[in-house]
Chains A and B, each alone.
Chain A
Amino acid sequence: MTLCDAEITGLRQVAQGVHVLSFRSPEVAYSILPGQFLNLRVHDGLDPLLRRPFSVYRVEKEIVEVIFNVVGKGTAILAGKKKGDMVSILGPLGVPFGIGGRFTNAILIAGGLGIAPMPILAEHLRKAGKQVEIFVGARTSDQLALQHLKAPHVATDDGSRGFHGTVVGLVESYLKEHPLTDAKVFACGPTRMLSAVSNFARTSSLPCELSLEGEMACGIGICQGCPVERTNGERRYALVCTEGPTFDSTTIHLREG
């Protein structure tokens, strides 16, 4: 884990309101695993005050990338960064996706900005010899950020591109035509989508890992701000930051806003 300032090497828009920030960090680039995140501080000012967690999107040599859309003060500041500016990073943080194991087929399911960990995840899975099918959902076609994804299957809520419906609906209809045996599901996206993925995985008897978001301050387990309810065990809650953000879907109860 490192806490340091990293030099921004680029910022590009990849879909409507969706940006990718690149920065130089050899420490992170050579140690990050898929599903892990960084806690970024966007400026030295007092408002916004806290760091913001971002999944790592891609790594290329010493360059690390995160993807975000502008939802508040912090991401607005980030979207205004220029090449050569600095950003404070803390990480890599959290438990990565479990890409080892005996499965042969990986089913990656992303909703909206849930595509964040998918390029790096798909790359590591392929390197580990797994077959990867990736499914991406968005509200509309112009919100789809499909760069760096190999042959993605697409769903949109409004039907403007690909499957007309939810990404989980797309996965179910795809698997009817192309049954995949010996598969594992990896998903990231809004809570409602993750609930649907979790139900789908349970009824299909597939192992499934979810990457969660949680309101968090520190990212390292000290603020206790990001609990998720566990399904069993002595403790009622796990922390998203240190025990996640990736969880076996059978071990947690998702909380719908």
Chain B
Amino acid sequence: MKTGFTLRNVQFRNRVFVASGTFGYGDEVRNLVDVSHLGGIMTKSLSWKPRDGNPPPRIAETPSGMLNSIGLANIGVHAFIEKKLPYLRTLDTHIVVNIAASSVQEYCDVLGLLDEHEGIHGFEINVSCPNVKEGGLSFGTDCDRTAEITSRLRALTEKPLIIKLTPNVTHIGQFAAAVKDAGADAVSVMNTVIGMAVDARTRKPKVSTVTGGLSGPAIKPIALAKVYEVAQSVDIPIFGIGGIMTAEDAVEFLLVGASAVQIGTANFIDPSTGVTVAKGIESFARQQGLNDIGELVGALNARKDFSVLQSWL
């Protein structure tokens, strides 16, 4: 069974990754997960300086989902290089560093510094955090800014460059097309959906920033539709993300057009979900008589002329 795939100059072992912010920097789960069964690890977002993150409360559970407002709490790129990267280098999997910033220059500074270091196999650019005032969605909902960031970063690295898109726009396909034209190798679809949870008795919002980002199985149907829209709009590899709990969920993402998937919220329940999903996809493909898991990518059996989406793409 062929499980792997190639992005730019990197051959990934399989198509299952762990999503940024749900796997730390790998060391927190060292005794719980055999990462050699993963396609790769998307690290927690890094900024130039450490970020404290948002005040509590930062998370609230909602039906089949989780609302978060972490606010990109992270140790900063320098501490990452000094304290986390040496351990990540020892892992038998690929490391994709996720970068978040509040200015175009900061994105460039962080990526430029990281690009000089061994043990990093690609970059995922977070232009879609819904929980910070500077950067985040103010970039990710502006197609020109998103493209500008992409082309500036493209000039700085030969490694795979993946742009993580937000669903909180009208036409996500246009953003995917813009970043492809600007030199991105792939897109991650999608970051969290803006959501809100309220305590009726205290009349307070359940996260400190009033609104937060919704993740988990509750958003899977939205994510499938966004991946499908991107896949119909532009020919670029897609990392499908949104509420994947099982191998069957992951296969659904491949069918609508994702080349790979990322496991997010499920890691909070069991950090080895990605390993289970990777093995499950393989046995699913075997049962289907396939030789390459790639045969599932975009293999949705749908009448495109019936698709409402087609009318406004």
Given A49-B216, A50-B61; A222-B66 close (CB under 8 Å) = no
| Interface size class, chain B | 35 or more
- Kindly report which residue of chain A lies nearest to residue B54, judged by CB atoms: A227
Query: In the bound complex, how far is the Cα of B50 from the Cα of A54, in angstroms?
Result: 31
Given A46-B217, A50-B61, A222-B22; A217-B245 close (CB under 8 Å) = no
Please encode chain B, from 38 to 82, with 1 for each CB lying within 8 Å of some chain A CB and 0 for all others.
000000100000101101111111011110101001000000000
Contact residue among B50, B53, B202 (Cβ-Cβ distance under 8 Å from A257)? B202
The minimal Cβ–Cβ distance linking B308 to chain A, given in whole angstroms, is 27
Are A237 and B53 in contact, CB atoms less than 8 angstroms apart? yes
Q: How many residues of A contact B (CB 8 A)?
A: 31
A218 within 8 A of B: yes
> What are the residues of chain B within 8 A of A214 when measuring CB–CB?
56
Are B271 and A224 in contact, CB atoms less than 8 angstroms apart? no
**Contact segment of B28-36, B132-140, B294-302:** B28-36
Please encode chain B, from 240 to 280, with 1 for each CB lying within 8 Å of some chain A CB and 0 for all others.
00000100000000000000000001011111100000000
A210 within 8 A of B: no
The minimal Cβ–Cβ distance linking A57 to chain B, given in whole angstroms, is 23
Are B65 and A49 in contact, CB atoms less than 8 angstroms apart? yes
Taking A220-B29, A224-B58, A236-B52 as known contacts, 12 extra A-B pairs with beta carbons closer than 8 A to each other, sorted by chain A number, are A41-B269, A51-B268, A214-B56, A215-B58, A215-B59, A218-B267, A221-B28, A222-B271, A223-B22, A224-B44, A224-B70, A225-B58
Query: In the bound complex, how far is the Cα of B245 from the Cα of A113, in angstroms?
Result: 33
Q: Contact residues of A with B, CB < 8 Å?
A: 1, 3, 41, 46-51, 88, 214-218, 220-229, 235-237, 242, 255, 257
A-B contact count (CB 8 A): 97
Are A227 and B58 in contact, CB atoms less than 8 angstroms apart? yes
Query: In the bound complex, how far is the Cα of B54 from the Cα of A237, in angstroms?
Result: 10
> What are the residues of chain A within 8 A of B50 when measuring CB–CB?
235
> What are the residues of chain B within 8 A of A242 when measuring CB–CB?
28
Query: In the bound complex, how far is the Cα of B268 from the Cα of A88, in angstroms?
Result: 13
> What are the residues of chain B within 8 A of A50 when measuring CB–CB?
61, 66, 268-269
Query: In the bound complex, how far is the Cα of B271 from the Cα of A100, in angstroms?
Result: 33
